[in-house]
């Protein structure tokens, strides 16, 4: 009898779609504060412009979104001076000079307000405090007032106010003009535009009769959620169903006001797709459908420790995508590889809510037996770990002569073990029925054509293109495309004239090595394409050794962060014509007569030994080829 175990793993992945409203109502899917400033200014009867845009909180992003300079952004910072709250209004590119502030206020102590204090004093979330807060002392910095037009947020992350400075000053009660900002400008960290999506909202403030399931409420499907699901289906090579509908999955749980979840059962948006793992293995995608997220249950003293549970319906009705694979994965490591691949594809599509975690239900069976389902695992390492544990557990059960019965298990990330939750309900238990409140959906030919046309270049296509266009190795191309930000960095270095092969080598080896070593991501370190371009040019023209280039990257990412070129210049590590190679060679030869004799006697290794010494003496500022050439010339070879 064979000891071989056949393992079948299927995954069900859930993630939140990045739409502005919920699946069936126009309630916002992210808390963005309250848009009360507009109303406030209208009441005052003053002139201003209201600009709506994507969610932002950084001054640099606000400025971009509203078409003004960072200097024109009026940011309001909440401080506490001698235990009294105070609002400083500064331009977006300056810091508060605390010494100046102390002098102006004639105070002895000043500190930035805590998150809780900001809330208490202004009613606003940190980062979204507008200057127009009544009943609090304000100091507006005079440098800000060199601008005629000022802009500040409207108490929400998705809109701003543009207003004449004189009008603003007139509106502000209890306000003083003074010199309190730093002289020097704040340097904005480079990197991707940061969009804010998870500003806390008061519980139960982002809901309406539809997402609370009130009788008589009229759900209307959010087209954007369908568009995103369609894009995901297309990217996973699925068949898109042009006609589909929504069903009710009936069960009771306190996080569901409807007593059923609106989901898709009979006909999903997309089905029968596939992706290929790096080794070429095909993994089937059974289906991808949209459904709505239940509310959040809050256990005030922690799960199982609270004497009561609170419910926050802000999340109720958020659009989710559920992607179900075929049981084609045959090991926990493969499941992890698949998750990485899927996450990358979803990242390229830009359809998921930023900061969303992919939640995974893992199904596993061995030797064709019944499967167990491990619910709600988040994190790819956790998926691999949970499956590894469960695989070993099932093997042992079988060895003991026990039968595996179909059931649901929970994974404890701390202990790394899975425990039985409940006997698995069958699909029939949920009593799926067609939802009569919702109309059948038919995707138009135009919608499908447009959605298809809008699909971005996906990782696999991009990797192929990079190989053809720039003659990159398959490995380099694949690594570059395995991370959206890394691929973009490569694109922009090359677009600025950097040599593609050199750039690819630099990014996939040196840059990734430093990032991985320090567990950093590109977004964390604010790497600039311009800085790496300089290094690529130095490398391509043979002006820096690989070793010194590596050193400059380490310094750039996790050292003192000066640009690679300036680091190399400062430390005299560039290969330059001014190095007196003859002198160094002579010195090395004189000190190593034995090696010279050995080389003359036919020992090739001695030449490399001498070359190494010359390189070391020259601190890597000459190329190894040049040194070898020079030595050979000298020895007449």
Residue 30's CB is within 10 A of a number of other CB atoms, namely 23
Q: Which among 86, 339, 77, 24 has a CA at the least distance from the CA of 212?
A: 24
Residues 174-213 that bind Zn ion (CB under 5 A): 208, 210-211
27 or 163: whose CB is closer to Zn ion? 27
Q: What is the distance between the alpha carbons of residues 225 and 271, in angstroms, rounded to a whole number?
A: 17
CB of 246 to Zn ion, least distance (A): 16
Which x/- pattern over 35-74 shows residues binding Zn ion (rule: CB under 5 A)? ----------------------------------------
Q: Is 566 left (phi over 0), alpha (psi -120 to 50) or beta?
A: alpha
136 or 208: whose CB is closer to Zn ion? 208
27 or 494: whose CB is closer to Zn ion? 27
Give the up-direction half-sphere exposure of residue 144: CA atoms within 13 A in the CB hemisphere.
34
211 or 463: whose CB is closer to Zn ion? 211
Q: How far is CA 340 from CA 264, 381, 483, 568, in A?
A: 26, 10, 10, 36
CA dihedral (324, 325, 330, 333) in degrees, to 10, reads -70
13 or 226: whose CB is closer to Zn ion? 226
Q: If you ran DSSP here, which 8-state letter would residue 131 be given?
A: S
Residues 210-249 that bind Zn ion (CB under 5 A): 210-211
CB of 8 to Zn ion, least distance (A): 40
31 or 211: whose CB is closer to Zn ion? 211
25 or 522: whose CB is closer to Zn ion? 25
Residues 1-30 that bind Zn ion (CB under 5 A): 25, 27
Q: What is the DSSP string of 308-327?
A: S-EEEGGGTT-EEEEEEE-S
CB of 218 to Zn ion, least distance (A): 11
35 or 208: whose CB is closer to Zn ion? 208
CB of 209 to Zn ion, least distance (A): 7
210 or 349: whose CB is closer to Zn ion? 210
Handedness of CA 60, 62, 64, 69 (dihedral sign): negative
Residue 311's CB is within 10 A of a number of other CB atoms, namely 17
Structure tokens at 461: 């296509």
Q: What is the distance between the alpha carbons of residues 220 and 222, in angstroms, rounded to a whole number?
A: 7
CB of 27 to Zn ion, least distance (A): 3
CB of 465 to Zn ion, least distance (A): 42
CB of 262 to Zn ion, least distance (A): 13
Q: What is the distance between the alpha carbons of residues 194 and 160, in angstroms, rounded to a whole number?
A: 16
Q: What is the distance between the alpha carbons of residues 299 and 317, in angstroms, rounded to a whole number?
A: 21
CB of 254 to Zn ion, least distance (A): 18
CA dihedral (151, 152, 158, 162) in degrees, to 10, reads -30
Q: Is 204 left (phi over 0), alpha (psi -120 to 50) or beta?
A: left
Residue that has been written with the tokens 């167990």 in this structure: 372
Q: How many residues bind Zn ion (CB under 5 A)?
A: 5
CB of 529 to Zn ion, least distance (A): 42
Q: Which spans of this chain sit near Zn ion (rule: CB under 5 A)?
A: 25, 27, 208, 210-211
């Amino acid at each position: 009898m064979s000891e071989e175990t056949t393992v079948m793993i299927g995954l069900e992945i859930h993630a939140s779609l990045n739409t502005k409203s919920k699946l069936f109502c126009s309630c916002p899917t992210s808390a963005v504060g309250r848009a009360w400033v507009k109303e406030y200014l209208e009441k005052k009867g003053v002139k201003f412009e209201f600009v709506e845009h994507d969610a932002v909180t950084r001054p640099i992003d606000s400025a971009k979104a509203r078409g003004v300079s960072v200097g024109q952004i009026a940011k309001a910072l909440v401080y506490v001076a001698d235990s009294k709250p105070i609002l400083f209004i500064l331009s977006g590119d300056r810091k508060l000079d605390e010494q100046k502030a102390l002098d102006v206020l004639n105070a002895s102590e000043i500190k930035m307000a805590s998150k809780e204090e900001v809330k208490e004093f202004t009613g606003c979330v940190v980062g979204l405090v507008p200057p127009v807060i009544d009943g609090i002392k304000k100091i507006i910095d005079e440098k800000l007032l060199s601008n005629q037009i000022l802009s500040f947020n409207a108490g929400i992350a998705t809109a701003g106010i543009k207003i004449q400075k004189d009008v603003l000053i007139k509106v502000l009660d209890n306000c003083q003009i003074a010199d309190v900002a730093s002289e020097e400008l704040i340097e904005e960290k480079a990197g991707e535009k940061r969009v804010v999506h998870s500003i806390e909202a008061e519980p139960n403030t982002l809901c309406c009769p539809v997402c609370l399931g009130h009788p008589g409420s009229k759900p209307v499907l959010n087209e954007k959620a369908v568009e995103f699901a369609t894009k995901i289906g297309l990217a996973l090579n699925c068949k898109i169903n042009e006609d589909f509908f929504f069903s009710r999955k009936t069960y009771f749980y306190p996080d569901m006001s409807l007593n059923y979840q609106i989901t898709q059962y009979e006909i999903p948006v997309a089905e029968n797709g596939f992706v290929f793992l790096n080794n070429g293995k095909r993994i089937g995608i059974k289906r991808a459908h949209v459904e709505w997220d239940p509310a959040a249950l809050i256990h005030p003293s922690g799960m199982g420790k609270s004497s009561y549970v609170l419910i926050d319906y802000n999340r109720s009705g958020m659009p989710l995508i559920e992607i179900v694979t075929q049981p084609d994965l045959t090991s926990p490591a493969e499941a992890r590889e698949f998750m990485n691949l899927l996450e990358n594809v979803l990242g390229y599509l830009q359809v998921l809510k930023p900061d969303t975690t992919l939640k995974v239900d893992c199904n596993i069976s061995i030797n064709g037996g019944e499967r167990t389902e491990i619910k709600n695992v988040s994190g790819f390492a956790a998926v691999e770990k949970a499956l590894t544990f469960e695989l070993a557990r099932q093997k042992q059960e079988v060895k003991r002569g026990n039968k595996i019965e179909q059931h649901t298990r929970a994974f404890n990330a701390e202990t790394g073990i899975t425990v039985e939750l409940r006997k698995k309900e069958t699909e029939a238990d949920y009593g799926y029925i067609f939802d009569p409140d919702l109309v059948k959906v038919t995707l138009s030919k135009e919608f499908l054509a447009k959605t298809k046309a809008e699909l971005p270049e996906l990782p696999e296509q991009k990797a192929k293109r990079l190989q053809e266009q720039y003659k990159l190795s398959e490995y380099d191309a694949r690594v570059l495309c395995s991370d959206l930000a890394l691929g973009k960095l490569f694109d922009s270095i090359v677009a600025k004239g950097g040599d593609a092969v050199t750039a690819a080598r630099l990014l996939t080896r040196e840059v990734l090595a430093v990032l991985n070593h320090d567990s950093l991501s590109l977004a964390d370190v604010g790497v600039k394409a311009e800085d790496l371009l300089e290094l690529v040019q130095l490398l391509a023209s043979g002006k820096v050794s690989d070793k010194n280039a590596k050193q400059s990257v380490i310094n750039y990412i996790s050292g003192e962060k000066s640009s690679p070129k300036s680091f190399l210049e400062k430390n005299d590590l560039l290969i330059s014509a001014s190095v007196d190679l003859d002198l160094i060679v002579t010195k090395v030869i004189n000190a190593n007569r034995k090696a010279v004799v050995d080389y003359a006697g036919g020992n090739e290794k001695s030449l490399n030994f001498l070359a190494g010494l010359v390189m070391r003496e020259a601190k890597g500022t000459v190329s190894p080829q040049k040194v070898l050439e020079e030595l050979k010339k000298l020895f007449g070879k």
